[in-house]
Amino acid sequence: MKVEKFKVLLYLKKSGLDKSGKAPIMGRITVNRTMAQFSCKLSITPELWNPRESRLNGKSKEAVEVNAKIDKLLLAVNTAFDSLLERKTDFDATAVKEAFQGSKETRMTLLKLFDRHIGEVRARVGIDVSHRTLPNYLYTRSRLADFVSSRFKVSDLAFCQLNELFIREFQEYVVIEKGLGVQTVRHYLAILKKICRIAFKEGHSDKFYFQHYKLPKQKETPPRALSKEDFEKIRDIELTGCRPEHSIVRDMFLFACYAGTSYVDVVAITPDNLSRDDNGALC
């Protein structure tokens, strides 16, 4: 194979800053007229980056460590290129990228990233994540795995295999074959978009897949209101033969209606935060 052009370009993806303000370093391999992008799995302080030298300026600890990793990375890319060249068969930039990164099993894929994020969510339950959040991720992951297996006959997908048709077919799959409601489907798709956003920010995908895909809207119906007549029936009915708890629930409901108290505040009422007057009556 005649190679007229081989180049490796490193650049900073400033649109993918993480919480600490660091930006990921991306790479682009060019072989003749073909190109392939990859993540260097390195994030740095943007102000230290020298785009002309593809290095970090200065001799700080961060600069020394990252520059050493960049040298090692570029050596691996060139070694992969030389190895393909020795085979004397046609290849392109993607082949160099795959040879440099190793087997497909070592790359971050859709469900692999999903599993990693689920582990992060699980670790935060009870801290800054509600216990109701984790099941949403687990169910979404399960449905997504079923869809990938039935639609593509594989166990996982690379992010580059995703497209607009994928998310539309996934939506149809959970609605038609699984019979899920609009609100549940909306949750599933929102989580899928979040995983794709993480992949883009971390450099596992070249673009933010499904960024502009519109989530299904739930049909809005006006809330049912309690009429004055029904309210008075609830207020005046004698709860004979019922357990004391039933009377307490009814009275708390009436109290909330009269006082305009929200449900979450009413259910938080306990004997410890109730006051009584001198005659023992609640006040």
Taking only the tens place, the pLDDT of each residue in 254-283 is 888 888 888 778 777 777 777 777 776 666
Helices (H), the chain: 61-86, 93-101, 110-124, 133-152, 164-172, 182-202, 228-236, 244-259, 263-266
The pLDDT tens digits for 92-101 are 998 888 878 7
Taking CA 123 as the corner, what is the angle to CA 120 and CA 128, rounded to the nearest 5 degrees? 95
Please give the pLDDT value at position 32: 93
Question: 89 vs 102, which has greater pLDDT?
Answer: 89
Rounded to an integer, the average pLDDT of 174-198 is: 88
Buried b (16+ CB within 10 A) or exposed e, 172-208: ebbeeeeebeeebbbbbbebbbebbbbbbbbbbbbeb
Q: Hey, what are 3's tokens?
A: 């190679």
Q: Please say whether the beta carbons of 143 and 178 come within 8 A.
A: yes
Is residue 8 within 8 A of residue 28, CB to CB? The reply is: yes
Amino acid at the residue 219:
K
pLDDT in tens, 201-238: 877 777 888 988 888 876 666 667 788 888 888 888 88
Residue ranges per domain, the chain? 6-102, 110-202, 228-273
Is the per-residue pLDDT at 105 higher than 50? Answer: no
- pLDDT given at position 220: 64
Helical (H) or strand (E) element with 12: strand 6-12
What digits encode the pLDDT tens for the residues 36-90? 999 888 999 999 999 999 999 999 999 999 999 999 899 889 888 887 887 777 8
**pLDDT (tens digit per residue) in 24-35:** 999 999 999 999
Q: How far, in Å, are 12, 150, 230 from residue 162 at the CA level?
A: 24, 15, 54
Q: What is the CATH number of domain 110-202?
A: 1.10.150
Let me know if 67 is exposed, middle or buried by CB neighbors in 10 A (0-12, 13-18, 19+): buried
Average pLDDT taken over every residue of the chain: 85
CB contact at 8 A, 153 and 134 = no
Rg of the chain in Å (alpha carbons): 29
At 107-155, the pLDDT tens digits run: 688 999 999 999 999 999 888 888 888 999 999 999 999 999 988 888 8
Using an 8 Å Cβ cutoff, are 101 and 38 in contact? yes
| Residue pair 125/134 in contact by the 8 Å Cβ criterion | yes
125: helix, coil or strand? strand
Partners of 39 in the β-ladder = 26
Residue tagged 């978009």 (tokens): 193
Q: How far apart are CA 113 and CA 191, in angstroms?
A: 12
